[in-house]
């Protein structure tokens, strides 16, 4: 997959702090999760990608264009959804999105038409003629996403798109982000919520203190651990644990009433299935336990 | 009971890539200008936002209508040809125009900063200079239009009620270039001052009050300085302290456009090189305002 973002030795210093320290990146044109705690350098990286800030050292290319040479050209190919509130509150969603479509270079008529389409896409078709000031947090986040994609960018930078959303709003936003990839829009999703990245991103970049910690496909990071999680309900956990131990399997229980069973192959998985069936237990879940991004982040070591 | 066959269907229209024409920096600047202009004159906004420009336009046009009406009614009488307002006098500072700029300039600029829209705007293909150009351009266009349109009404009306339209046209050709130039200079002054003051605050009320305060204080200080130095009366030597009055600066420049000199009613009249000083002061104020605006938005952009 070709790189949508390519950085070499990217360094940005502010008085008293190095926001980015010699970062090398090759982000593929898919859905990339940019993970890091507050102050890790995510927003600084976005500003450098948008050409709104100049690096102290190193180079960065977006869509094959050097940002330093043509920041305006780069910006015309990028959509940006900031984390903070950034919408004109007294304008309708349709006007806001159409205006940012025009600012992105679309002709007036095309901007209004696409504003209507993308607001429909993000689920605001019926609310598009209401002032943004009366919107809920979820609706404002959707409007921000709509303005980011209205000009059909090659790359969209999403800064904490699920911030402040309730669980259902978060699910819907992640579903929308997931769909962007199928529209041919590359996504860089900056967040500190590792679950969000694990859900929708094909590639993960972790920053910590301005340094690159991880830059790898998600599936490589979330490798199987050789453990399966079995959920038969809290009432039957101990009985099942005893039965599996008697069949020679290593078993541990956790505090939410599920079993963690160490398996070495399909035969062990068959054994688990058969024991559950023989005991006539309700099998709610039988899943491979994967390394979580939290594990990766906690045990991180800088990329050499 | 049979169930009627469904005649409707739900389609997921999905996402359509855009492959039509796409503008660059100039198109983005023009788009921001259009949006700002619409906002300034209240288009696509609640009726309350349309009141100020509508009142201003009405106030601006009324003298022209009255002048033309008097001209029509006095045709064939000894009072024919009477003008209670001249083109030069008609083009000037009015409380309504000042209030309009004090209301509209902050309304165009302050919410972008206060509601943090600026990062979103500067993530588009335009620069801080483009932003400033669009905002100043929008105010300029409004002030120019509200100054120029009444003059057009006056000119066309006077021409129609005069005995010979062609004679009127020939006798008044000078105003055809004087009015647009003077109106443009007035509009540039107001737009620069209004946007510069508004760019320094995120609050509309503060910016508007500051704009009015600056003009009020400068005219008061100017008057005090002139009086403290013995004052100046029409026909006598003027006083250079008249230049401190920011509000009167575009009027001095207007007089230079229409008369080629400072008008004798002006406190600056009689000051040696008064015209040059007025132009220098006008230019300095506009330059400082533009420098403030560009500085403010360059720092935001980067």
Verify whether the Cβ–Cβ distance A102 to B117 is below 8 Å.
Answer: no
CA distance B48 to chain A (A): 12
Among residues A191, A220, A249, the one where a domain terminates is: A220
Report chain B's terminal Cα–Cα distance, integer Å.
Answer: 70
- The residue range of the domain holding A122 is 3-220
In which band, very low, low, confident or very high, does the pLDDT at A269 lie, cut at 50, 70 and 90?
confident
Average pLDDT, chain B: 87
Residue B130 lies in a domain: yes
Provide the sign of the torsion angle of the four alpha carbons A95, A100, A106, A110, taken in this order. Answer: negative
CA distance B23 to chain A (A): 4
Residue B255 lies in a domain: yes
Residue to mutate among B12, B13, B15, with most A CBs inside 10 A, is: B15
Average of pLDDT values for A71-96?
93
- What pLDDT shows up at residue B293? 95
- What pLDDT shows up at residue A304? 45
Residue A22 has pLDDT above 60, yes or no: yes
Residue B9 has pLDDT above 60, yes or no: no
- What pLDDT shows up at residue A220? 77
Average of pLDDT values for B10-32?
85
In this structure, the answer to whether residues A33 and A115 fall within a common structural domain is yes
- What pLDDT shows up at residue B1? 46
Structural domains in chain B (count):
1
Residue A195 has pLDDT above 50, yes or no: yes
Percent of chain B with pLDDT over 90: 49
Average pLDDT, chain A: 88
Q: pTM for the complete prediction? A: 0.83
User: Could you give the residue ranges of the DSSP H alpha helices within B162-245?
Assistant: 165-171, 174-199, 204-228
In which band, very low, low, confident or very high, does the pLDDT at A157 lie, cut at 50, 70 and 90?
very high
Residue B216 lies in a domain: yes
In this structure, the answer to whether residues A176 and A58 fall within a common structural domain is yes
Among all residues of chain B, which has the CA nearest to that of A181? B15
- Three-state SS for B203? coil
Among residues A220, A239, A266, the one where a domain terminates is: A220
In angstroms, the CA A67 to CA A110 distance is 27
ipTM of the complex: 0.84
Q: What is the pLDDT of residues A202-213, one digit of tens each?
A: 999 988 888 888
Percent of chain B with pLDDT over 70: 91
CATH code of the domain in which A196 resides: 3.40.50.300
Average of pLDDT values for A155-164?
92
Contact by Cβ (8 Å): A231, A205: no
Residue B14 lies in a domain: no
Q: For strand A17-28 and strand A186-191, is the pairing parallel, antiparallel, or unpaired? A: unpaired
Residue A239 has pLDDT above 80, yes or no: yes
Q: What is the pLDDT of residues A271-284, one digit of tens each?
A: 988 999 999 888 88
Average of pLDDT values for B12-39?
90
């Amino acid at each position: 997959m070709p790189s949508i973002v390519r950085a070499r030795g990217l360094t940005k210093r502010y008085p008293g702090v190095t926001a980015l320290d010699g970062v090398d990146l090759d982000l593929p044109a898919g859905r990339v999760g940019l993970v890091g705690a507050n102050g890790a350098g995510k927003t600084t990286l976005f500003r450098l990608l948008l050409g709104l800030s100049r690096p102290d050292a190193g180079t960065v290319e977006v869509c094959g264009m050097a940002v330093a040479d043509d920041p305006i050209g780069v910006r015309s190919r990028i959509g940006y959804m900031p984390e903070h509130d950034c919408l004109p509150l007294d304008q309708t969603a349709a006007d806001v999105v159409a205006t940012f479509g025009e600012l992105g270079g679309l002709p007036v008529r095309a901007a209004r038409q696409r504003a209507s389409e993308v607001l429909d896409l993000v689920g605001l078709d019926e609310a598009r003629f209401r002032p943004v000031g009366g919107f809920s947090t979820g609706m404002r986040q959707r409007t921000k996403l709509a303005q980011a994609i209205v000009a059909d960018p090659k790359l969209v930078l999403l800064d904490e798109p699920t911030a402040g959303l309730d669980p259902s709003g978060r699910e819907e936003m992640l579903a929308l982000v997931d769909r962007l990839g199928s529209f041919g829009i590359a996504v860089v999703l900056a967040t500190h919520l590792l679950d969000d990245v694990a859900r929708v991103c094909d590639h993960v970049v972790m920053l910590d203190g301005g340094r690159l910690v991880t830059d790898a496909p998600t599936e490589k990071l979330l490798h199987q651990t050789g453990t399966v999680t079995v959920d038969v309900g809290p009432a039957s956990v101990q009985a099942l644990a005893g039965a599996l131990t008697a069949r020679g399997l290593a078993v541990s229980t956790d505090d939410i009433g599920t079993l963690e069973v160490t398996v070495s192959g399909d035969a062990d998985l068959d054994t688990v299935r058969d024991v559950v069936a023989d005991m006539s237990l309700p099998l709610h879940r039988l899943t491979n336990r994967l390394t979580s991004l939290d594990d990766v982040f906690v045990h991180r070591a800088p990329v050499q | 009971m049979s169930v009627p066959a469904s005649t409707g269907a739900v389609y997921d229209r999905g996402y359509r890539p855009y492959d039509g024409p796409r503008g660059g920096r100039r198109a983005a600047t023009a788009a921001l200008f259009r949006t700002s202009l619409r906002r300034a004159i209240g288009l696509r906004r609640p009726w309350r936002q349309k009141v100020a420009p509508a009142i201003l336009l009405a106030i601006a046009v009324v003298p022209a209508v009255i002048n033309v009406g008097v001209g029509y009614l006095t045709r064939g009488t000894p009072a024919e040809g009477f003008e209670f307002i001249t083109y030069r006098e008609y083009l000037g500072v009015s409380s309504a125009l000042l209030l309009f700029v004090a209301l509209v300039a902050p309304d165009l600029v302050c919410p972008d900063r206060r509601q943090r829209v600026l990062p979103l705007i500067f993530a588009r293909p335009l620069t801080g200079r483009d932003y400033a150009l669009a905002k100043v351009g929008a105010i300029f266009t409004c002030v120019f239009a509200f100054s120029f349109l009444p003059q057009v009404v006056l000119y066309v009306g006077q021409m129609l009620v005069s005995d010979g339209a062609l004679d009127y046209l020939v006798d008044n050709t000078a105003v055809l270039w004087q009015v647009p130039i003077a109106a443009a200079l007035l509009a540039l002054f107001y737009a620069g001052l209004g946007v510069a003051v508004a760019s320094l605050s995120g609050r509309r009320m503060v910016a508007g009050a500051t704009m009015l305060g600056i003009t009020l204080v400068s005219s008061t200080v100017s008057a005090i300085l002139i009086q403290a130095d013995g004052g100046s009366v029409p026909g006598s030597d003027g006083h250079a302290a008249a230049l401190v009055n920011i509000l009167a600066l575009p009027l001095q420049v207007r007089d230079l456009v229409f008369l080629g000199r400072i008008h004798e009613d002006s406190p600056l009249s009689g000051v040696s090189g008064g015209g040059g000083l007025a132009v220098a002061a006008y230019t300095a104020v506009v330059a400082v305002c533009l420098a403030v605006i560009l500085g403010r938005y360059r720092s935001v952009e980067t």
